[in-house]
Amino acid sequence: MKTLYFIGGPMGVGKTAVSRELLARLPRCAMLDGDWCWTMQPFIVTDETKAMVTGNIVHILSSFLHCSEFDNVVFCWVMHQQQIIDGLLARLPMDGVRLVNISLTCTPEALAARIRRDVAAGLRDADCINRALAYLPLYDHVQSVKVDATGLHPAEIAEQIIHTGETL
């Protein structure tokens, strides 16, 4: 049986870093960061681009799930609404696939500090702080296992997620 790890959370919480740790630790593993499908200039969010991005995500995840070379697939993205998760799962080939659905959270102070470091490093714009903080409470309504990333290294979070996956 394959395992599909959904790693959600607001921007800046550490989804990509944790997913890279999972990629390194899980056997026969592939990883997709949903942001890779949004890499475009100019960055335009319309119904058409949303449909294109989700279609690309479904296509790539389906390919990983169909490929016999992979036992584990890790997908990270800002999945702040249950309908996003449900919409993806409805289009994925989930027969013989076990889902481990995780939402990374942290305190608002820790999230703001993480994003400020990214802004200082030139990785994000300052307006990301307010957007990320606005998304943080939305994860309370997402049907997922919550993992508090406050003060933890990505390797520690990955270990928690692997343990959670083993106990589900």
User: With contact defined as beta carbons under 8 Å apart, do 18 and 100 qualify?
Assistant: no
Average pLDDT rounded to a whole number, residues 2-22: 98
CA distance 105 to 107: 7
Tens digit of each residue's pLDDT (9 = 90 or more) over 112-143: 999 999 999 999 999 999 999 999 999 999 99
The single residue listed with the structure tokens 């957007």 is 131
Average pLDDT rounded to a whole number, residues 49-60: 97
Other Cβ atoms less than 10 A from the Cβ of 140: the count is 9
> Among 139, 58, 56, 75, which residue's Cα sits nearest to residue 105?
139
**Is residue 12's pLDDT more than 90?**
yes
> Among 1, 6, 18, 5, which residue's Cα sits nearest to residue 152?
18
Per the prediction, the chain carries an average pLDDT of 97
Predicted TM-score (pTM) of this structure: 0.96
Tens digit of each residue's pLDDT (9 = 90 or more) over 76-110: 999 999 999 999 999 999 999 999 999 999 999 99
Tens digit of each residue's pLDDT (9 = 90 or more) over 15-42: 999 999 999 999 999 999 999 999 999 9
- The β-bridge relationship of strands 145-148 and 97-105 is parallel
Q: How confident is the model at residue 168 (pLDDT cuts 50, 70, 90)?
A: confident
CA distance 135 to 17: 19
* List of residues 6+ apart from 162 with CB closer than 8 A: 22, 25, 26
Separation in Å, CA 135 to CA 11, 68, 75? 9, 36, 19
* Whole-number pLDDT of residue 6: 98
**Is residue 163's pLDDT more than 90?**
yes
**Is residue 65's pLDDT more than 90?**
yes
As its CATH architecture, domain 2-167 has 3-Layer(aba) Sandwich (3.40)
Supply φ then ψ for residue 75, to 5 degrees. -125, 125
Domain ranges of the chain: 2-167
